[in-house]
Structure formats: C-alpha cells, structure tokens
Chain A
Amino acid sequence: DAGVTQSPTHLIKTRGQQVTLRCSPKSGHDTVSWYQQALGQGPQFIFQYYEEEERQRGNFPDRFSGHQFPNYSSELNVNALLLGDSALYLCASSPGLAPYEQYFGPGTRLTVT
C-alpha cells in the first residue's frame, strides 16, 4: 500500500516564476492538506481540500492556490514566487476531515533564487 507521494522531490525556480507541486494521497484517503515548512520551523497550514473544494485556508496570500482532482490527488500552485517561498512543502492526507489521521508525504523542497 503506497503512502502519500509527492512530486517533484526538489526544484529550483527564479523569483517571479510560477510552480506546481503534486500530491497523491494514501489509498482510501479523500482529504488532502498542504503545509509549508520553512527552514528551522514547524509546518504551517496552507489549505485543505475535500470533495474537490478548498475547505479551510491558513494565513497565506492568494498567490497560493490549489486544486483537487476526482481521484483525490491534489496540486499546489504558487504564483509570482518570492525568495521567502523557499521551503519544504508537505502534503498530508486523511480519511475525511478529521485531523487525527493525517499521513505526511516526504515533501517537495522548493528553492527560489
């Protein structure tokens, strides 16, 4: 049983560019949450998707957007990249909206130069 998978593993972008990160949830999970983990910090909640809709959003600007597909996989898009967007982006999946069954993927390391 595959766990949560994320792609790509690493990527480097230039300021002002746009990036798309992808996540496939654990089998049987229908809810995907995205977190940003800056260096030396704990993960911070970006948003959560369930039934292809954004259900909750953290304190992130509109440059951060997402999407969930019918197969429950999800994308995180970041527009107009800033140096401060450099971080590890973690995807977590869960069965339904409850917070206590979140399984995390290995993350995508984004570097903005």
Chain B
Amino acid sequence: AQSVTQPDIHITVSEGASLELRCNYSYGATPYLFWYVQSPGQGLQLLLKYFSGDTLVQGIKGFEAEFKRSQSSFNLRKPSVHWSDAAEYFCAVAPFNSGNTPLVFGKGTRLSVIA
C-alpha cells in the first residue's frame, strides 16, 4: 500500500528565511502528488499538485515543489517565509491512473515562524 512520510514533525524558521519541507512516498509508480496547508481550526487548502510534466510545480502563496522520481520525493519550498505561513503542512498522494482512489496523507509538518 502507498504511504507518505514527512520526516519533520515541527520546523521553526525566521521570517524572511527560506523554507523546505520534506515529503517521501512509497508507491510502485509515480502517483499524483499534493501539498495542502491547514491553519489552526481550519480545513485543508490545496497549495499545489503534480500529475506529470515539468517536475518543478508552482503553487499559491509563493510556494513551489519539486518532484524527484529517483528519490521518491516531493519537497515543498518557499524562498522567503512570511509570519502568515505558520500552519500545518500535509503532503498527500493518490495512485496514478486509478480513478476512484482517495488521498493518502502524511502526518504533517508544523511550521512555526519567528520574527
């Protein structure tokens, strides 16, 4: 069964610093890949998604992610973090070309931003 690993439970960065959140997946083929953000008490908002093509994907709020097939990774990056980026970030996968298949989520990485 597919699984998603987010190795960092909690990350703290200074405002204006760069950010990278790690995500590794376990699946036989390249799945659909997603990053969601969840602010306290809120639902999930889709930041970006990868299906195929260019391995560098641009999302909302200045985020981008890079798919690396050889490493089974889909890391999320932002060049300059804002205090409003403090939230929980979830990586998710769905098997490719399987149609009716739900998302499998990692356990999340909590991002704190300090002044």
Contact = CB atoms under 8 A, between A and B. Distances in A.
Nearest to A106: B43
A33 B94 CA distance: 14
Interface of A: 4, 33, 35, 40-45, 48, 50, 55-56, 58, 90, 92, 97-100, 102-107
B13 interface: no
A103 B45 CA distance: 7
Nearest to B42: A106
Instruction: Sort A-B residue pairs by CB-CB distance and give the 10 closest, nearest first.
Output: A42-B105, A99-B94, A45-B102, A97-B100, A104-B43, A104-B44, A106-B43, A42-B107, A43-B105, A105-B43
A41 B108 contact: yes
Interface of B: 4, 32, 34, 36, 41-46, 49, 51, 90, 92, 94, 99-108
B28 to A, nearest CB: 17
A56 B107 contact: no
Nearest to B101: A99
Contact of A107 (B34, B43, B94, B104): B43
Contact of B43 (A58, A90, A98): A90
B99 A97 contact: yes
20 contacts: A35-B102, A42-B90, A42-B106, A44-B105, A45-B102, A48-B100, A48-B102, A90-B44, A92-B44, A97-B99, A99-B102, A100-B34, A100-B49, A100-B51, A102-B103, A104-B36, A104-B43, A104-B44, A105-B43, A106-B41
